[in-house]
Structure 1
Amino acid sequence: MPRRDLRNNRYERADDRPLPGAGLAVRLWRWRTEIALLAGGGTAAVTVAGALRDGDPWPLLVLLGATAALATSRYGRSWSAAHAWCLVSRHRIQRVCLETRMHTRSGRIPLILWITPSAAGEKALVLTRAGICAEDFAAFSGEIASACYAREVVVARHRHRAHLVLVEVIRRPEGPGPVVGLDRFYGRANWSTLHPSGAAQEEPDTGPGTKPFPLAA
C-alpha cells in the first residue's frame, strides 16, 4: 500500500471507542470567532438597551445603520458571505482531520492558525502536529473539498518550515484584483504545491509575491 494512499491508516485502533475530547483551551481556540461575535453582540445589545432606557436613541440608530449598510450594499454582503464561509471551512477542515485520522493517537488535530477569504475561496494556514505533514493533507484533499462544499482543494507546504501548511479551498475561478488574504504576508513563492499523491511542484525561490500560486494540482 502506498505510504500516502487516500485510505492509508497510519495506526490501527483496537476498538471503535471515540477519541478523547479536546481540552477547554483548545475548544475556546476553535470557537474563538463565534465567541467574539457573541460577546460583541451581547455588549451591543446591553449598550442599546441601556441607552433606550435613558431615552437616548443614538446607539440604536448607529447599530441599525451599520447593519443596513452591510445588508444593502454589494460590498457588505460579499464581505459577510466571504467571512461566513471562512467559519464553515475552518470547522469542516477540523472535522475532516478527526474523521480521516489526521490526528495524533491522543486525538489532537492540527491547529488552524488563520483562515482568510481569497480570490477563489478561502485560504487556511495550518500548524501540523507531530506525526502529521503536508502530504497527509494533500492525500485527503478530496475529502476536504467535499466537506467544505467546494470545487477542489489545493495544498501547499512552506519551503523552509515544513510544519506550516496552506490549504486553499477553491469555490470559484480566481478573478483579477489585488492580492488578498495570506498572500499579502507570506508571498506566493514561499510555498510548494503538492499533488494528491504527495509530490511537490517546486517553483524558483525568487522572493515573496513574484510567482503565481497554481490553482490545480
Structure 2
Amino acid sequence: MALALGFVVGLVLGFMSALLVRVWPVLRVLWWWSLEITTAAVAVAVVALLVRVWPWWLALAAVVVPVAGALLSPRVRQFVSAWSWCVVDRHRLRLCFTQLVRATSQGNSRPLQVPLMLWARPTLAGERVWVWLRPGLSLDDLDGKTGRIAVTCFGASQVRVARAREHLSALIRIDVTRRDPLTGLVPSPLAALLSGTNADADVPVSPAVPLVGLDLADVPEVPVAEPRGGGRR
C-alpha cells in the first residue's frame, strides 16, 4: 500500500510539474500584462452589462464621463500617474533585463531566463519594483549597470539596486528616482510663536557672550568694564 500510494502521489506531482513547465511561458506573459488585462476586462464587462439596459452610446458615456470627471481632480490625476509609472517601469525593466540576459548568455550552452517582475508601487521619489532573479543572475551582475537601467526607465534620474531580504539573494529591490521630495519649501511654525516681533529684524547678540576674534568695521567694539577696587581678583 505504501509503494502504491507513493507511486500515485509521485505520478500526480510529476504530471502537475510537467504541466506547469509547459504553461509557464503563457502564465509569465499573463502576469506581465495582468494589470492591463484586468483593467480592460473590467471596463468591457461594465459596458456589456450596461448595454443590456441602455443603448450602447449611453452605456459608453456612463463609463467615460465619470472617469473623465474624476481625472479633473489633481489628487486623482496624481494617483493615476503614480501607478501608471509603476506599470511602465515593470515593462521597461523587463526589456532591460532581456538585453542583459542576452549579453550574459553569449557563450553559454543554456540561455538564461529573464527575471520575474513581481510588484511595483509608487514612492515619494518615484517607484519601487521588486524583481525575482532566475538562476544564472545575481546582484553582482548589476554592478555598474544602474545608469543603463535609469535610461531604460523614461524620465528617471537615478536608479538604486539592493537586496530586498537578507536571507533571499534572488529577491532584489529597484528604486527608481524621478524627483527630489526634499526640494519643496517647508514653512516653519516657529515664527508664529514669536508674537509681537518682526521676522526681518536683526537678532541682538547677548551681552553675556562678547564678540571675540572679529575685526569688522561695522561692528562696534564692546568696552570692557574695569574691575572695582583697582586690582585683579
Name the TM tier (shorter chain): 0.5 to 0.7
Higher helix share: 2
Structure 2 partner of 1:45: 47
Q: Write out per-residue CA displacement over residues 19-63 of structure 1, whole angstroms, 9 at most, x where no aligned residue.
A: xxx821111111111111111111122122222149xx7x76763
**Structure 1 residues 29 and 85, CA, compared in 2 at 3 Å: closer, same or farther?**
same
Structure 1 equivalent of residue 158 of structure 2: 152
The match for 1:121 is 126
Q: Is the 8 A contact 1:69 1:76 kept in 2?
A: no
Structure 1 counterpart of 2:76: 76
Matches within 5 A, 1:42-191: 42-53=44-55, 63-64=63-64, 66-101=66-101, 105-149=110-154, 150-157=156-163, 158-175=165-182
Cα distance in 2, alignment partners of residues 82 and 111 from structure 1: 21
Q: Percent identity?
A: 29
* Partner Cα separation in structure 2 for residue 137 and residue 29 of structure 1: 24
What corresponds to 1:189 in structure 2? none
Distance, in Å, in 2 between the alignment partners of 1:31 and 1:64 is 23
Q: Of the two structures, which has the highest relative contact order with CA contacts closer than 8 Å and spacing of 6 or more?
A: 1
Residue 86 of structure 2 aligns with an amino acid whose one-letter code is: C
Task: Give the secondary structure class of the aligned counterpart of 2:168.
Answer: coil
How many residues get paired?
152
Rounded to whole Å, the distance in 1 between the matches of 2:182 and 2:36 is 29
CA apart distance, 1:132: 1.0
Rg larger for: 2
The one-letter amino acid paired with 1:171 is R
* Residues 98 and 109 in structure 1, CA contact (< 8 A), matched pair in contact too: yes
Higher mean displacement: 45-54 or 114-123: 45-54
- SS of alignment partner, residue 101 of structure 1: helix
Mark the runs of 5 or more structure 2 residues left unpaired by the alignment. Answer: 1-23, 184-233
Q: Tell me what 2:3 maps to.
A: none
